[in-house]
Amino acid sequence: MSIQTVGIIGAGTMGNGIAQACAVSGVNVVMVDISEAAVAKGVATISGSLDRLIKKEKITEDDKAAALARIKGSTSYDDLKDAQLVIEAATENFDLKVKILKQVDALLDASVLIASNTSSISITQLAAMTTRADRFIGMHFFNPVPMMALVEIIRGLQTSDATHAAVHELSTRLGKSPITVKNAPGFVVNRILVPMINEAFFVLAEGLATAKDIDAGMVLGCNQPIGPLALADMIGLDVCLAVMEVYLNEYGDSKYRPCPLLKEMVAAGQLGRKTGRGVYAY
């Protein structure tokens, strides 16, 4: 099956980023959010992002106009009926996602594929909440979507080969480099990344090096664009802690125990950039 129109639920950071990636690749988009203001903000964000690409001479004014013409903003799920694939990109909240997915599942034709852009919630579990578990899949895009090449394609226990093939083909058409992952907490990237961040906190807590030197070591020694502690401040220390607690709970392996220093800093409200203070001061 060839996907020509993609429905996107959510016009926030991830939703509008996915919409932009689709539109510039010639795929029609219906982007739905709960209010006209949210939809307008999403479209304005895309417009601004395309302007930056024009300045860098990556695209032309005509390319921008063509991309924006492919995006239809809406506040009604009814407008998703023309899509062959609907991507849910709502907030990372299980109950909210289930509510949205049940509404959309009841509305769409049985042939339509549904994907979730979740970064942590079980695809198998979400799929089971719909009547089309075989046509349900995870598409975990990375932020900022227009710039990041990776898409994790997550197969739930029930996902069919045909669903996987259609979504893999679309991801490639969007200029992305997809990797295929079985459903498990953290999938692949966050499963490796967040424990690495947690280990950096252990190194810091043990006084082996300063935060600045730990980050410099990973940037200069492992060619990472940003050190793990600075990255934790960007992600939010509370988010890092919550992810480690999920891993510890789901896998039952002590290697996922959160570093006590990380727990202490979260308890102190030092969550990173969003609070002005984390490992570093902002």
Active site residues per annotation: 119, 140, 152, 190
CA 237 to CA 172: how far, in whole Å? 33
CA 22 to CA 42: how far, in whole Å? 14
**Closest to 226 (Cα-Cα) out of 217, 236, 215, 237:** 215
What is the per-residue burial (b if ≥16 Cβ within 10 Å, else e) of 9-34? bbbeebbbbbbbbbbbeebbbbbbbe
Give the DSSP H or E segment for 216: helix 211-222
Given CA atoms 169, 171, 176, 179 in this order, what sign does their dihedral have? negative
Q: Where are the beta strands (DSSP E) in the chain?
A: 5-9, 28-32, 71-74, 85-88, 113-116, 136-141, 150-155, 177-182
CA 194 to CA 250: how far, in whole Å? 15
Looking only at Cα atoms, what is the longest distance across the chain?
A: 58
Give the DSSP H or E segment for 64: helix 61-69
CA 88 to CA 73: how far, in whole Å? 15
Phi, psi of 106 (to 5 degrees): -70, -25
